[in-house]
Structure 1
Amino acid sequence: MLNRIDLSRSDLNLLVFFEVVLDERHVGRAAERLALTPSAVSHGLGRLRRLLNDPLFLRTPRGVLPTARAMELAGPIADILARARDVISTAEPFDPKNSTRRFTIGAPDGVTAVFLRPLLAELHRAAPGIDIGVRQLLPVPGEMSPERAWRTAFGDLEAGAMDIAVIPSFHIPTRFHARSLYDEDFVIAMRVGHPFADDPTLERYCEMQHLVVSFTGDPHGFVDEILATQGYSRRISLTVPNFMFALAVVADTDLISALPRRFVAMHAARFGVISLESPFPPTTFQLNAIAPRAAMMDAGLAWIFDLLAPKRAGSHNRLP
């Protein structure tokens, strides 16, 4: 892509400009991340366009769109930057059995409650000196676009605030390494003996009083969107900020709640909570473990990433 003559007189920081603008699809937001002015980023892109002999990004009313050539270059440039970052970083030999490192993993609490227990069991067996920090991740309030809802997680990863994030997003920028952890859908959780279990129809479901897990207190969730398409609605009697508290409340009340299937399967029994299949069409989503490509050059991080999200053997992951 770049010949010797170009490299001898070119600023390779321009590739960083390319990476960030490709991710943000907006020069202004890219400038904010780079702590530069939009004019400085535009000037840098102009130099990069001349260097690579392509417009790279086309302006639109909402930002910029990458050209076909830019999309072709995205992978190679991400690899170049990952290797460059690795060259200037220091790395010590990693021995999991003797390591005393600490890794921070970020995820929504309902996801952490699924992967943490088996992960800790594996660490106790293979790396008893390694410690784990858990960081709760929240979507951007009011953000309906999936590729934007978890954008703070990407920034925190690049800033080193955490090592790995596990998020329900299909939109992973090319500068991140990603692997599917598991697929998830929802079941209806309720206390033992709840009358809804005797007649779990959609009509009866809508007659019940509901609990919704909402980090902001907003009672409107994805279930309400599904019900609205069928001409139904429900009453949200209570919102709580996390999934484990939701189980505790459901166990002691007549409230019912749509909760993640794997989370309920692992933790409902201790609360005396049961679950039924959803009476409305299920929504399935994928949980992805992600880490910066550059950081994956660290043997220790690569090891803990593989432990958390091992490559699939057939159709099953080791964790959870």
Structure 2
Amino acid sequence: MKINVLDIKRLDLNLAVIFVAIWQERSVTKAAARLALSQAATSAALARLREACDDPLFVRVRGGMAPTPRAQAMADRLETGIADLWEVLTQQQAFDPSSAARRFAIGMSDDFELALGPHLTKLVQQAGARVSVMFRQTNRHTVEQMLNDREIELAVVSGSVKRAWIAREQIGQSGYACVVDAKAVRVPLPLSLDDYLAIPHLLVSFSGRTGIVDTALRALERERHVYAALTHFSAVPAFLTKTRAVATLPSHAAAALARMSRLSACAAPLDLGIYPVQLLWRRDSNGEGAIGWMRDRIKQAFALALEEAKEIEVSRRARSGQAKR
């Protein structure tokens, strides 16, 4: 479609930026602060937007501003358009890790920190002595706000996050595995379902209440006994070592914990499925060579973590088969 530049000239494209800020913040005051504008200037811009669209766009409700149906219909296209415009106009900036002094802020939950964090820091150290990584705790529930507030520049999360202003790439898949102290549980590995349910369970969950295992067991009309619940994977070895118990974890975290402790990892005795792992970043950073360089390092690190998870599961199965023979 050919654009009439004279018609475009009559519009203030800054209004689109202000719309997106209000849409994301649900507040004129917060949008103004984010854009370094006065509240009066932002309110005036909103008035011009309303006149141009012949719609209120945002109406005041308790706790903020609620978008109208017209605003909801506009939001995705405007977010995408602004991000595309930024990407086109921003020249790719070269990044040389051997000479650059740069600290990256990367968000991920501690299962990913355990699995890919050590690989990532080694790759970074090999590339440049003055490049460093700061890890921040995040997950799919908090990552959007942290990227929006620029607390982090990139993130690794499980599942799917879909917002037009967030760029994403699936860097792999992960599943689930069991972690035990093999000497303490005194049963063959990999665990049978009956042995699995006869052993007390250590739950690691964001909510601290239930997990994917409970959902799968309900379908089988079975249940397990959870003797303790944690919210962080890093504490698992302290709870399982010399203890007759089992924890069911993301396979990449299970492999990492088995590698660094006396714990053993094996396949789970029921089908818990697989899930995508996504790498996220702000689309307006697509022109930054440093961000592109770090994305490649993160993908390499996760590939190494997945390879370790694969190797441990295969080795545990093989060892179990030899023991039975």
TM exceeds 0.5? Answer: yes
Structure 1 residues 41 and 250: alpha-carbon distance in aligned structure 2, compared to 1, 3 A threshold: farther
Structure 1 residues 156 and 8: alpha-carbon distance in aligned structure 2, compared to 1, 3 A threshold: same
Inter-partner Cα distance in structure 2 for 1:62 and 1:49: 13
Structure 1 position 103, deviation (Å): 0.6
Structure 1 residues 44 and 62: alpha-carbon distance in aligned structure 2, compared to 1, 3 A threshold: closer
Q: In the alignment, what sits opposite 2:31?
A: 34
Structure 1 position 120, deviation (Å): 1.8
Structure 1 residues 229 and 29: alpha-carbon distance in aligned structure 2, compared to 1, 3 A threshold: farther
Inter-partner Cα distance in structure 2 for 1:287 and 1:198: 27
Structure 1 residues 199 and 4: alpha-carbon distance in aligned structure 2, compared to 1, 3 A threshold: closer
User: Match for 1:202 among 189, 193, 201?
Assistant: 193
Say whether the 8 Å CA contact 1:103–1:131 is kept in structure 2: yes
Question: Structure 1 residue 238 and structure 2 residue 235: aligned?
Answer: no
Question: Structure 1 residue 80 and structure 2 residue 85: aligned?
Answer: yes
SS of the residue corresponding to residue 288 of structure 1 reads strand
Counterpart of 1:129 in structure 2: which amino acid?
R
Structure 1 residues 272 and 44: alpha-carbon distance in aligned structure 2, compared to 1, 3 A threshold: farther
Say whether the 8 Å CA contact 1:209–1:255 is kept in structure 2: yes
Say whether the 8 Å CA contact 1:191–1:250 is kept in structure 2: yes
Inter-partner Cα distance in structure 2 for 1:243 and 1:135: 15
Question: Structure 1 residue 270 and structure 2 residue 275: aligned?
Answer: no
Structure 1 position 238, deviation (Å): 0.7
Say whether the 8 Å CA contact 1:213–1:242 is kept in structure 2: yes
Larger radius of gyration: 2
Q: Deviations over 1:100-131 (max 9, x none)?
A: 11111110000111112221222222222201
Q: In the alignment, what sits opposite 1:248?
A: 238
Structure 1 residues 14 and 62: alpha-carbon distance in aligned structure 2, compared to 1, 3 A threshold: closer
Question: Structure 1 residue 179 and structure 2 residue 180: aligned?
Answer: no
SS of the residue corresponding to residue 297 of structure 2 reads helix
Inter-partner Cα distance in structure 1 for 2:111 and 2:48: 42
Structure 1 residues 64 and 200: alpha-carbon distance in aligned structure 2, compared to 1, 3 A threshold: farther
Q: In the alignment, what sits opposite 1:142?
A: none
Q: Deviations over 1:173-208 (max 9, x none)?
A: 121221222211111111023234368333432332
Structure 1 position 45, deviation (Å): 5.9
Counterpart of 2:178 in structure 1: which amino acid?
I
Say whether the 8 Å CA contact 1:14–1:48 is kept in structure 2: no
Q: In the alignment, what sits opposite 2:14?
A: 13
Q: Deviations over 1:217-241 (max 9, x none)?
A: x221121122122212222111123
Structure 1 residues 117 and 17: alpha-carbon distance in aligned structure 2, compared to 1, 3 A threshold: same
Structure 1 position 18, deviation (Å): 5.5
Structure 1 position 32, deviation (Å): 7.7
SS of the residue corresponding to residue 264 of structure 2 reads strand
Q: In the alignment, what sits opposite 2:287?
A: 297
Task: Trace 1:83-94 onto structure 2 (pairs within 5 A).
Answer: 83=88, 86=90, 93-94=94-95
Q: In the alignment, what sits opposite 1:119?
A: 120
SS of the residue corresponding to residue 201 of structure 2 reads strand
Structure 1 residues 166 and 82: alpha-carbon distance in aligned structure 2, compared to 1, 3 A threshold: same
SS of the residue corresponding to residue 151 of structure 2 reads coil
Structure 1 position 62, deviation (Å): 11
Q: In the alignment, what sits opposite 1:313?
A: none
Structure 1 residues 3 and 77: alpha-carbon distance in aligned structure 2, compared to 1, 3 A threshold: farther
Q: Deviations over 1:225-268 (max 9, x none)?
A: 22122212222111123112113321221121001212222331
Structure 1 residues 206 and 30: alpha-carbon distance in aligned structure 2, compared to 1, 3 A threshold: farther
Structure 2: where are the runs of 5+ without partners?
Answer: 33-38, 59-65, 307-325
Structure 1 position 292, deviation (Å): 0.5
Q: In the alignment, what sits opposite 2:154?
A: 164
CA RMSD of aligned residues (A): 3.7
Q: In the alignment, what sits opposite 1:144?
A: none
Structure 1: where are the runs of 5+ without partners?
Answer: 140-148, 311-315
Structure 1 position 283, deviation (Å): 2.5
SS of the residue corresponding to residue 188 of structure 2 reads helix
Structure 1 residues 33 and 317: alpha-carbon distance in aligned structure 2, compared to 1, 3 A threshold: farther
